[in-house]
Amino acid sequence: MPANTSPIYTKVGDIQGGITLTTAAADYTGQGVANVVLYQADADNGGYVQRVRFKALGTNVATVARFYVNSGYLNQATLLTTVSGTPTGTPSSSGGTILTGPFFAKIQAVDQYGAGTAMSTETASVSVTGPTGSIAWAWTAVTGAAYYRIFVGPVTGGQAYYFTSTTNSYTQTTATFNLVTNIPALGNPSDFLTQNNFIGEISLPATTITATAATADIDYALNFAMPPAFHLIVGLGTTVAAGWVVTVIAGKY
- Predicted pLDDT of residue 190: 38
Within the chain, which residue ranges are assigned CATH 2.60.120?
13-75+195-252
- Predicted pLDDT of residue 176: 81
Q: What is the overall mean pLDDT for the chain? A: 81
- Predicted pLDDT of residue 73: 55
Mean pLDDT over 36-41 rounds to: 81
- Predicted pLDDT of residue 184: 45
What type of residue is 86?
Answer: T
Give the model's confidence band at 123: pLDDT under 50 very low, under 70 low, under 90 confident, else very high: very high
Residue 189, pLDDT > 60, answer: no
pTM attached to this predicted model: 0.54
Residue 207, pLDDT > 90, answer: yes
Give the model's confidence band at 116: pLDDT under 50 very low, under 70 low, under 90 confident, else very high: confident
Give the model's confidence band at 105: pLDDT under 50 very low, under 70 low, under 90 confident, else very high: very high
Convert 164-201 to b/e letters by CB count within 10 Å (16 or more is b). Answer: ebeebebebbebeeeeeeebebbbebeebbebbeeeeb
pLDDT digits (tens, 9 = 90+) for 64-90: 999 988 775 555 556 677 889 999 999
- Predicted pLDDT of residue 79: 67
Euclidean distance between CA atoms 5 and 90, whole angstroms: 48
CATH code: domain 88-188 is: 2.60.40
Within the chain, which residue ranges are assigned CATH 2.60.40?
88-188
Mean pLDDT over 218-239 rounds to: 87
> Left (φ > 0), alpha (ψ -120 to 50) or beta: where does 43 sit?
alpha
CATH code: domain 13-75+195-252 is: 2.60.120
